[in-house]
């Protein structure tokens, strides 16, 4: 009997977490083998490893505790990879040599699979004097471009590209350029970007006061604080970036504010870290801890939760000792503070199972209760470890207990810390769980609402065919098992329909008991007014959040929401589809009968298009010639040319194959479908505000544009068999996003601060 509750869960395990030989031969023959591998690796540092191996295995069993992907994929493999997810690199010196030394360190860290954060506020602004060379500084943005190019060439562990966060203080002279940088759809795509907003700045915004932009002791510009705030808001309203980090609050609430200053976070924002700071992550799966789901006695088993947290803390503390580190400075930092980040996943599902609507006052209250329980259990478990193994080396009881976060901790826990110390400086964080939530049976991700209750995905089979499978949210599956075909209750809401301020309410409720931070995306509708949009950020600040990330559909990052133009037959049941993909609806094995080729006239009319692929030195020129058939202009042949000799063979082959198809007439629009469905596993590119998954897909888009111009098809995607209009169960709106660079399917959406694919789990943030 498989432990997997959904086919996608087993596929994610096989693709991302299953240990295999270099040739692909499985070493982990079952998911139980993976759990055993992880449990054994994390128990080896114990005095009684066999006993703790069994307890660790029990916590992992049935997906109750979910170590982050780095641990699940790397623990016990013997591979030279880090088990830590999050790094903030060293402070960037304001010198050419220091800057490029930091670049080298970043490359080494990403090579082992770590996501990194950098504060670029330490680099002098554009136009500032560079002493000794009679030149003006190029500014931090120019060096961010260098980092971006480096990141494109580094493939992280597990075939993931590196992920980076760039921050800049709100008083840096180049802050306006930083805010506007990603309005160019081809620039800095490897970065998430956030502005470090101070309390003084927020006060100046409220009072509409002047704001000085400074570097060193020099004031470069003075602007109105409210004008700068509006620039930040307008950029994220239109382009989904930059995010906002309330940096003074982060430092004030940091348990370690007596020995470190934070100026950056990891790529998704849940880990504010000092220079060379590192943190590992894990999540307890609340959806697996609800007894009698949807029943009269439905409740989360709080005793089981406390027990699970206690074991999870020990596992994560052991991971500090079991992990390798890209840099010695990162190892020293981790060992001195033993920072860990235990969070949750499946929160929204758990709330549904006990009959609560995500975003309601009752759900926020319940969330706060559960997170408080987790915080208490985490801190008490760490105190017990300190009694057994010693406190973290930089522990200072008086200073630790005087920090902002610890002042709100329960008095009995504070007393235990004062007496015995604590093993880990920080313990809680809510991280992105997109992939591990799929692996755990498609539970809701982190503390996010359910994105879609059910959708279909196409799965590539070994024989090249595609099969369709339904992917159902874990809570919905539980509902079906218990209630059959009964309609979902009204309290089933999702990310598309949830009011933005309800998102903020849930984030604020959780933040009260999270000592680090939270990866959370507040989805807002495209038609939200600018003033209402700004209110979301003010509400986040006023209610104690440490940062705010929103996502509003836009032309650069793609649209999450789309409304089907086709009227549904009222007599039919709603389709259980959420994410469209680019594959044909008919299997590849279907027989297609070709007509005899048309005769070629001596002269044809056509158009030539120039296609410049961002990573290619030479442009591709694509000519499409047409013929008149039955009074209708129809594509007849193509010619694809490039000076790049590396392209010669495939462009000739593509020219001949497409022309052979076109010359047989009929509905040849499927050529566009097939080309646009091709994805490059190395990643695609942004062109004219859209993500194109491969150079072949770009050629398909050019041919599609030509077909539209001659009236062969009506518009982009129109008339194509696989331009599906998707439908979320019971809703009139449907999520549709850019194509995934890993699997090619449409549906990428912003979740927990990162563009994520629901079909394969690919995440921009690693």
Helix (H) / strand (E) containing 637:
strand 632-642
Euclidean distance between the first and the last CA atom of the chain, given in angstroms as a whole number: 31
Instruction: Summarize pLDDT for 593-613 with one digit per residue, the tens.
Output: 345 577 788 788 889 999 888
The question of whether 523 is a catalytic residue gets the answer no
The helix or strand, by DSSP H or E, that contains position 325, with its residue range, turns out to be: none
β-partners of residue 469 are: 457
- Closest alpha carbon to 344 in 430, 405, 277: 430
Phi then psi for 301, rounded to 5 degrees? -75, 95
Distance CA 763, CA 737 (A): 13
- pLDDT for residue 563: 31
Q: In angstroms, rounded to a whole number, what is the distance separating the alpha carbons of residues 99 and 123?
A: 9
Q: Catalytic one among 268, 279, 548, 757? A: 268
Reference 16, options 306, 434, 400, 567; nearest CA is 434
b/e for 702-727, b at 16 or more Cβ within 10 A?
bbbebbbebebbeebbebbebbbbbb
Report pLDDT digits (tens) over 719-751: 554 443 233 333 333 445 666 666 656 677 777
Q: Are strands 86-88 and 115-119 parallel, antiparallel or unpaired?
A: parallel
Strands 164-169 and 160-161: unpaired
Residues 6+ apart with CB under 8 A from 276: 87, 88, 89, 90, 327, 329, 330, 332, 333
Q: Determine the Cα–Cα distance for residues 233 and 717; give it in Å rounded to an integer.
A: 33
Among the listed residues 105, 241, 260, 270, the single catalytic one is: 270
**Rounded Cα distance, 166 and 119, in Å:** 6
Please answer whether residues 428 and 254 qualify as being in contact, where contact means their C-beta atoms are separated by less than 8 angstroms: no
Residue 589: exposure state from Cβ atoms within 10 A (0-12, 13-18, ≥19): exposed
Run of H or E including 749? strand 749-751
Secondary structure class of 94 (helix, strand, coil): coil
Residue 164, strand partner residues:
116, 191
Q: Which residues lie across from 214 on neighbouring strands?
A: 219
The answer to whether the CB of 579 falls within 8 A of the CB of 472 is no
Q: From residue 605, give the alpha-carbon distance in Å to each of 273, 513, 633, 637, 652.
A: 62, 68, 10, 11, 21
| Measured distance CA(553)–CA(525) in Å, rounded | 7
Tell me the C-alpha distance between 537 and 545, whole Å.
9
Q: Token pair for residue 463? A: 């024989």
Distance CA 621, CA 610 (A): 5
Q: Structure tokens of 166?
A: 């760039």
What is the residue-wise DSSP string for 662-686?
A: HTT-S-TTHHHHHHHT---TT--EE
How far is 213 from 126, CA to CA, in rounded Å?
Answer: 13
- Confirm whether 494 is a catalytic residue: no
Q: Check: CB of residue 301 under 8 Å from CB of residue 289.
A: yes
270 is annotated as an active-site residue? yes
Q: Is residue 270 a contact partner of residue 294, using CB atoms and an 8 Å limit?
A: no
CA dist 527 and 555 (Å) reads 14
φ and ψ at residue 89, rounded to 5 degrees: -80, 175
User: Which listed residue (251, 255, 266, 494) is catalytic?
Assistant: 266
Q: Which residues in the chain show pLDDT less than 70?
A: 1, 132-134, 154-162, 459-466, 554-596, 615, 630, 681-683, 689, 717-746, 764-766
Identify whether 242 is preceded by a cis peptide bond (ω within 30 of 0): yes
pLDDT of residue 547: 96
Q: Report the residue count for the chain.
A: 766
What's the alpha-carbon Rg for the chain, to the nearest Å?
27
Query: 120: closest CA among 196, 60, 48, 57?
Result: 196
Nearest to 468 by CA among 579, 622, 371: 579
């Amino acid at each position: 009997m498989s432990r997997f509750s959904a086919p996608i869960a087993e596929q994610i395990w096989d693709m991302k977490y299953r240990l295999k030989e270099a040739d692909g031969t499985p070493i982990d023959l079952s998911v139980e083998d993976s759990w055993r591998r992880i449990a054994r690796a994390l128990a080896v540092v114990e005095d009684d490893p066999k006993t703790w191996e069994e307890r660790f295995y029990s916590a992992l069993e049935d997906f109750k505790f979910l170590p982050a992907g780095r641990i699940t994929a790397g623990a016990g493999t013997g591979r030279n990879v880090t088990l830590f997810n999050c790094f903030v690199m060293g402070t960037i010196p304001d010198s050419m040599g220091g800057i490029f030394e930091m670049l080298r360190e970043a490359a080494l860290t990403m090579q082992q699979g770590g996501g990194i954060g950098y504060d670029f506020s330490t680099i002098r602004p554009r136009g500032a004097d560079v002493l000794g060379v009679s030149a003006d500084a190029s500014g931090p943005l120019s060096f961010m471009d260098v980092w971006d190019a480096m990141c494109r060439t580094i493939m992280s562990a597990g075939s993931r590209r590196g992920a980076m966060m760039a921050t800049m203080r709100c008083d840096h002279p180049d802050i306006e350029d930083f805010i506007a940088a990603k309005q160019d759809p081809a620039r800095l795509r490897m970065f998430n970007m956030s502005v470090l907003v101070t309390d003084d700045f927020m006060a100046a915004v409220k009072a509409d006061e002047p704001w000085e932009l400074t570097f060193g002791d020099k004031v470069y510009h003075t602007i109105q604080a409210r004008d700068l705030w509006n620039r930040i808001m307008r950029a994220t309203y239109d382009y989904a970036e930059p995010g906002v980090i309330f940096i003074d609050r982060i430092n004030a609430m940091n348990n370690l504010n007596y020995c470190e200053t934070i100026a950056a976070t990891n790529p998704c924002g849940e880990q504010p870290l000092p220079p060379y700071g590192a943190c590992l992550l894990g999540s307890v799966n609340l959806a697996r801890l609800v007894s009698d789901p949807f029943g009269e006695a439905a409740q989360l088993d709080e005793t089981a939760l406390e027990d699970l947290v206690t074991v999870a803390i020990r596992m994560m503390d052991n991971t500090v000792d079991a992990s390798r580190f890209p840099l010695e400075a990162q190892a020293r930092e981790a060992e001195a503070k033993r920072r860990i980040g235990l969070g949750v996943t499946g929160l929204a599902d758990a709330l549904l199972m006990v009959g609560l609507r995500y975003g309601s006052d009752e759900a926020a209250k319940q969330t706060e209760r559960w997170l408080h329980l987790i915080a208490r259990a985490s801190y008490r478990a760490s105190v017990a470890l300190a009694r057994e193994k010693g406190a973290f080396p930089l522990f200072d009881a008086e200073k630790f207990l005087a920090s902002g976060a610890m002042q709100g901790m329960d008095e009995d826990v504070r007393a235990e810390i004062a007496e015995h110390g604590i093993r880990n400086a920080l313990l809680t964080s809510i991280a992105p769980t997109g992939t591990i939530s799929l692996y755990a049976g498609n539970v809701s991700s982190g503390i996010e609402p359910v994105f879609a209750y059910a959708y279909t995905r196409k799965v590539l089979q070994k024989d090249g065919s595609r099969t369709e499978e339904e992917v159902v949210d874990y809570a919905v599956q539980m509902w079906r098992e218990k209630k059959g075909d009964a309609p979902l209750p009204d309290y089933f809401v999702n990310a598309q329909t949830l009011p933005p301020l309800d998102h903020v309410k849930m984030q604020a409720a959780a933040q009260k008991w999270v000592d680090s931070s939270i990866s959370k995306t507040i989805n807002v509708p495209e038609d939200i007014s600018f003033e209402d949009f700004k209110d979301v950020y003010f509400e986040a600040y006023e209610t104690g959040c440490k940062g705010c990330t929103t996502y509003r559909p836009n032309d650069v990052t793609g649209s999450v929401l789309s409304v089907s133009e086709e009227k549904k037959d009222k007599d039919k049941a709603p389709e259980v589809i959420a994410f469209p993909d680019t594959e044909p609806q008919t299997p590849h094995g279907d027989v297609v009968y070709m007509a005899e080729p048309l005769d070629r006239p001596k002269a044809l009319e056509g158009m030539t298009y120039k296609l410049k692929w961002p990573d290619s030195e030479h442009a591709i020129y694509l000519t499409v010639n047409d013929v008149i058939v039955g009074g209708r202009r129809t594509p007849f042949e193509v010619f694809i040319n490039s000076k790049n000799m590396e392209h010669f063979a495939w462009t000739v082959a593509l020219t001949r194959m497409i022309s052979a198809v076109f010359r047989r007439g009929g509905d040849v629009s499927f050529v566009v479908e097939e080309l646009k469905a091709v994805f490059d596993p190395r990643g695609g590119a942004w062109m004219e505000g859209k993500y194109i998954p491969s150079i072949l897909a770009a050629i398909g888009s050019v041919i599609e544009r030509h077909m539209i111009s001659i009236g062969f098809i009506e518009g982009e995607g129109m008339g194509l068999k696989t331009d599906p209009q998707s439908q979320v169960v019971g809703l009139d709106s449907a999520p549709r996003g850019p194509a995934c660079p890993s699997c090619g399917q449409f549906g990428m959406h912003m979740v927990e601060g990162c563009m994520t694919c629901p079909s394969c789990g690919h995440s921009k943030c690693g």
